[in-house]
Amino acid sequence: MAAKPFVQIENVTKRFGRFTALDRINLDISEGEFLTIVGPSGSGKSTLIRLLVGIDDVTEGTISLNGTRIDTMPANKRPTCMVFQSLALFPHMTVGQNIEFPLKLRGVAPADRRTRAIELLALLRLPESYYGKRISQCSGGERQRVALARALAFDPQIIVFDEPLSALDYRLRKTLEKELKDLHARTGKTFVYITHSLEEAMVMSDRIAIMRSGRFEQIATAEEIYSRPISRFVASFMGEVNLFPVTGRADGTPDWPAGAIGARPGALAVAPGWTGVLMVRPELVRFLDAGQAADFTLSGTLTAEYALGSRIQYSVDTAAGLVTVERPFETRLTAPVGTPVTLGWDRAAVHLIAEAADGTA
Amino acid sequence: MERLERRLGLLSALPIGILLLLSFVMPLLLVAGFAVMPQKVFELAHLPDFSSFAVIWEQGYYKSLLRSLGLAFLTTVILFLVSWPLAYGMAKVFGRFTLVITILVVLILFVSENIRLFGWSLSLMKGGLLEGYLRAWFGFSFETPLYDWPVIVFGMCYVYFPFMLFPLAQGISLVPDDARLAASDLGASPARILFEIEMPLAAPGIMVGCLLTFVLSAGAVAEAKLLGGRSVIVLTDDVESAFTFGQNWPLGSALSLTLIVIVALLALVPISRIDLDAIMGRKR
């Protein structure tokens, strides 16, 4: 990668009155990357992209694009473009006029504008007949594509997405997620996408940045975030994981404050005084038959069973709390709810998250 | 069920329907009837006669008609330009302060229009409130602006201001903030946003405001009389004289009918194109 990042966000702080929405944010984005910022409501992700496209001004810090500062430029001069959550299509214009709007502003001749708009319609898999349609005649998914086509017509250096799929139904969202990823590959543009759904982020992104209270918690690839979350927050943000508090005894063996877990001697070495959680994903927990062994074992009672389509999930009540186990639907247990079971998992399935004694990362 | 709803709808509309029939349609028909009555005859049994309309042309009454329309047009344009920034502020910027402005503007309407216009007349006349005090205190004198057409336009702007302001503010509030932000993001300058996004999206409000002020100003009587002091003869003056001093009801009716038809034609085009439901907030 080049020495100078494509987009460089340095020490950016944004305050609204006395509320600090972003607190000394640093982020580099490389050219052609699909970066997704994930965070709960109020984590500052929307604020960050509004600063990026120029809707709001930074309080402190700088944003540069290709080495040029853009945070001081007005929104209409920045080579960035945003796809709004509401899509912000212009209802008084046709589909074609919407797409041509940025070209019209640049003084492109009507015939050339039309050619480009029709190219973009084709790129977004919309029939040419949509050119003259009113926005109100388009469905949710079609509007989504029109908004994308309009953003592409602007030909920005970065396209920013503000949860544009959140209002759509599940199936359409899944289709458009894949289309968006595909579009990213075909156009080679830099995409910055925000969402509160880590699942959505996983499908599309090269890198994921997890935000919490105006700061980045972790910035990494989907694979890394999935298997090696840096904090309990990141771990729990990505759905159901099993977290067991662990501390290190003076002799280097683990202690389990929430309830004992059987650990094979030597399976887990914990420094004396170390505090944190042990994470294990539900799909990596097994039901042990009599005589089977694992690095970690825990016994309990099967309390519930949830069919998730291709997978099935179990809740097991143990001395260390409720444990979630997930496995392919074909391997559904024959044992009924209420049966005593023994759970087990191996050292390779375990990820340790260090925490300060008060529970924060 | 649907039939019941229709019946209920008709029933609910009945009282206002009867009222409109008696107070709006009947006078119109009467005026139309008088307009085609032969002049100086005053009998009901006659064939339609268009001599009154010929008189409008021959005796130059069309000049006062044009004057009325011109002044109304000017008033509308000025009011639009003056009201837009305030309406914009009320719809998008002021927040809770909007209510204060609304109350202040509405409060003015509680005082009768004639009294307010008399107030201006007393203030602006030679030796009146303004000139009198200025002369007494600073020895500075100026000619009264009264009795000329600009003061009539000023008076109409003053009186019909709320009729422009509130529809405009309503119209501007229909413009989604995101549309404005998106346009800016796509490279539009504030002027382009105004002309290509905000004005088209606020068009229903603009049309309602302009129509109201234009129609009201074209039929205005008091401003020309109280501020203009009959130095500028507008159409409504002619109508009044024809019915009173002139005792020429057919001419008065023909003049009225001409104004009504012109204004109605001007109004119908935009009304057929705007979506009143959008203004009332039932859509989008």
Distance of CA A344 to the CA centre of its chain: 30
Return the domain boundaries, chain B. 58-280
Q: Which residues of A touch B188 (CB under 8 A)?
A: 76, 101, 105
Tell me how many helices (H) and strands (E) chain A has: 8, 20
For an interface test with A, give the residue of B174, B175, B186 to mutate (most A CBs within 10 A): B186
Nearest by CB: A92 against B184, B189, B200: B200
For an interface test with B, give the residue of A55, A155, A192 to mutate (most B CBs within 10 A): A55
Burial of A186 (0-12, 13-18, 19+ CB in 10 A): exposed
Minimum CA–CA partner of B176 in chain A: A88
Contact indicator for A21, A39 with CB cutoff of 8 Å = no
Question: Is the pLDDT score of A327 beyond 60?
Answer: yes
Contact indicator for B188, A76 with CB cutoff of 8 Å = yes
* pLDDT of B276: 60
Question: Is the pLDDT score of B43 beyond 50?
Answer: yes
- Per-residue pLDDT tens over the stretch B149-203: 889 999 999 999 999 999 999 999 989 999 999 999 999 999 999 999 999 999 8
> Quick check: B183 and A101 CB within 8 A?
yes
Nearest by CB: A105 against B181, B186, B200: B186
Q: Which residues of A touch B185 (CB under 8 A)?
A: 53-55, 75-76, 78, 80-82
Task: Match 């987009």 to its residue by tokens.
Answer: A7
- ipTM of the complex in this document: 0.81
A90 Cβ contact partners less than 8 Å away, ≥ 6 residues apart = A97, A98, A101, A135, B179, B182, B183, B197, B201
- Per-residue pLDDT tens over the stretch B73-97: 999 999 999 999 999 999 999 888 9
> Quick check: A81 and B179 CB within 8 A?
no
* pLDDT of B33: 87
B76 Cβ contact partners less than 8 Å away, ≥ 6 residues apart = B164, B210, B213, B214, B217
Q: Which residues of A touch B203 (CB under 8 A)?
A: 92
> Quick check: A84 and B284 CB within 8 A?
no
> Quick check: B203 and A92 CB within 8 A?
yes
Q: Which residues of A touch B284 (CB under 8 A)?
A: 91
> Which element (helix H / strand E) includes A211?
strand A207-212
* Mean of pLDDT values over B215-241: 85
> Which element (helix H / strand E) includes B164?
helix B149-173
A258-289: buried (b, 16+ CB within 10 Å) or exposed (e) per residue? eeebbbeeeebebeeebbbbbbbbbebbbbbe
Which of A76-80, A81-85, B57-61 bottoms out in mean pLDDT, i.e. has the lowest?
B57-61
Q: Model's pTM, two decimal places?
A: 0.81
Question: CA Rg, chain B, in Å?
Answer: 23
> Quick check: B186 and A81 CB within 8 A?
yes
CA distance B99 to chain A (A): 24
Question: Of A303 and B234, which is predicted with more confidence?
Answer: A303
> Quick check: A101 and B186 CB within 8 A?
yes
Region B58-280: CATH code: 1.10.3720.10
Question: Is the pLDDT score of B275 beyond 70?
Answer: no
> Which element (helix H / strand E) includes A345?
strand A340-345
Which of A139-153, A254-268, B198-212 bottoms out in mean pLDDT, i.e. has the lowest?
A254-268
